[in-house]
């Protein structure tokens, strides 16, 4: 045998499978697993935060819708107060009601605009199924605000018209009383007696007093409603006052024995009286007509816009009720 050593029976183990190398390889794999797990957990955490944030946004948006709805409900009583005042027939008794409703209208308008603004803020964060209700609520809020924007024009005209009615009516009563005294004065003068002519002067004096009271009442009505044109009645009253003064002068001439001059003045008196009769025929049918005409001019546009907005508010309210009913089913 030669000197070479025989090979041993022990097999050679590959380097990569040696205990130390295998251990390191396993540790590396565990690190990768942990990294992957950590990344997955981080992703889940981020997703969870995102979901939580989205849920919170939706929750807060829904809360805004509820707040806007509550604001509109709170303003409902005031809205009805204003609406009743707007629709109440004008009379001398509604002046206070109209004035009170004016202040309420501003508050209701502010609440409606605030509700609309809240709903605008909430819209982008609401889920699809909640948008229809929010939109209906917003339409209701905007329509209510539009109503309250027009209401002050109507209510202010209501207040002024109501304040003018009583003095205008009083002026008419004074005119009627004056005309009765003038008729009596004519009848007494036509007796052509000293007592009759003296009584004619008494009646003409009382007629003049009543006419001046009527003129004062017309001025009060005009101050209450400056847009109302009472000029035709003022001219008529002034003409009647001048006629009463002429009547007293005629009486004085007759009592002084100046019959011929009295008769000449009487002819002029009769011509003036005929002119005044024609003037009376040209007067408006009612002393309230100047009030009604001014009211129509001032409020025609506002009333049309108000009732248009009122109908939109009604339709939106019906829609809100319908959607809420669907949600409860």
Q: Over 50: is that where the pLDDT of 1 sits? A: no
- Residues 140-159 pLDDT 10s: 999 999 999 999 999 999 99
* Mean pLDDT value of segment 301-318: 96
Domain ranges of the chain: 53-158+304-328, 164-297
The CATH architecture of the domain made up of 53-158+304-328 is Up-down Bundle (1.20)
Predicted confidence band at 131 (pLDDT cuts at 50, 70, 90)? confident
* Mean pLDDT value of segment 261-265: 94
Predicted confidence band at 53 (pLDDT cuts at 50, 70, 90)? low
Please tell me which residue, 62 or 226, carries the higher pLDDT value: 226
Which pLDDT score is estimated for 324? 85
273: CB partners within 8 A, 6+ apart? 243
* Mean pLDDT value of segment 312-328: 89
Predicted confidence band at 27 (pLDDT cuts at 50, 70, 90)? low
Which pLDDT score is estimated for 9? 44
The answer to whether the beta carbons of residues 284 and 232 sit under 8 Å apart is yes
Q: Chain centroid to CA 46: how far?
A: 52
The length of the chain, given as a count of residues? 329
The answer to whether the beta carbons of residues 245 and 209 sit under 8 Å apart is no
Q: Over 80: is that where the pLDDT of 271 sits? A: yes
Q: State the greatest distance between any 2 C-alpha atoms of the chain, in Å, as a whole number.
A: 195
Return the closest-CA partner of residue 98 out of 36, 145, 44, 153.
153
């Amino acid at each position: 045998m030669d000197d070479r050593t025989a090979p041993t029976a022990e097999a050679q183990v590959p380097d990569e499978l040696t205990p130390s190398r295998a251990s390191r390889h396993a540790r590396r794999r565990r690190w990768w697993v942990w990294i992957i797990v950590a990344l997955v957990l981080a992703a889940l955490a981020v997703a969870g935060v995102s979901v939580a944030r989205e849920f919170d946004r939706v929750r807060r948006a829904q809360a805004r819708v509820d707040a806007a709805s509550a604001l509109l409900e709170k303003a409902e009583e005031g809205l009805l107060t204003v609406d009743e005042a707007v629709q109440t027939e004008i009379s001398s008794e509604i002046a206070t009601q109209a004035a009170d409703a004016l202040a309420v209208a501003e508050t209701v308008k502010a609440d409606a605009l605030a509700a609309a603004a809240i709903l605008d803020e909430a819209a982008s964060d609401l889920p699809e199924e909640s948008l229809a209700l929010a939109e209906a609520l917003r339409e209701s809020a905007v329509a209510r605000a539009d109503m309250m924007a027009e209401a002050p024009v109507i209510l202010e005209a209501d207040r002024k018209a109501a304040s003018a009615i009583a003095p205008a009516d009083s002026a008419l009563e004074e005119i009627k009383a004056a005309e009765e005294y003038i008729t009596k004065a004519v009848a007494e003068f036509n007796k052509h007696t000293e007592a009759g002519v003296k009584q004619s002067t008494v009646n003409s004096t009382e007629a003049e007093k009543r006419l001046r009271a009527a003129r004062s009442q017309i001025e009060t009505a005009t101050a209450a409603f400056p847009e109302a044109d009472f000029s035709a009645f003022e001219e008529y009253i002034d003409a009647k006052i001048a006629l009463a003064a002429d009547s007293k002068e005629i009486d004085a001439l007759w009592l002084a024995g100046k019959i011929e001059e009295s008769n000449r003045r009487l002819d002029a008196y009769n011509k003036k009286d005929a002119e005044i009769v024609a003037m009376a025929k040209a007067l408006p049918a009612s002393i309230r007509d100047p009030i009604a005409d001014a009211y129509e001019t001032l409020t025609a546009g506002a009333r049309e816009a108000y009732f248009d907005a009122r109908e939109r508010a009604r339709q939106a309210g019906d829609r809100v009720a319908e959607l809420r009913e669907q949600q409860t089913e």
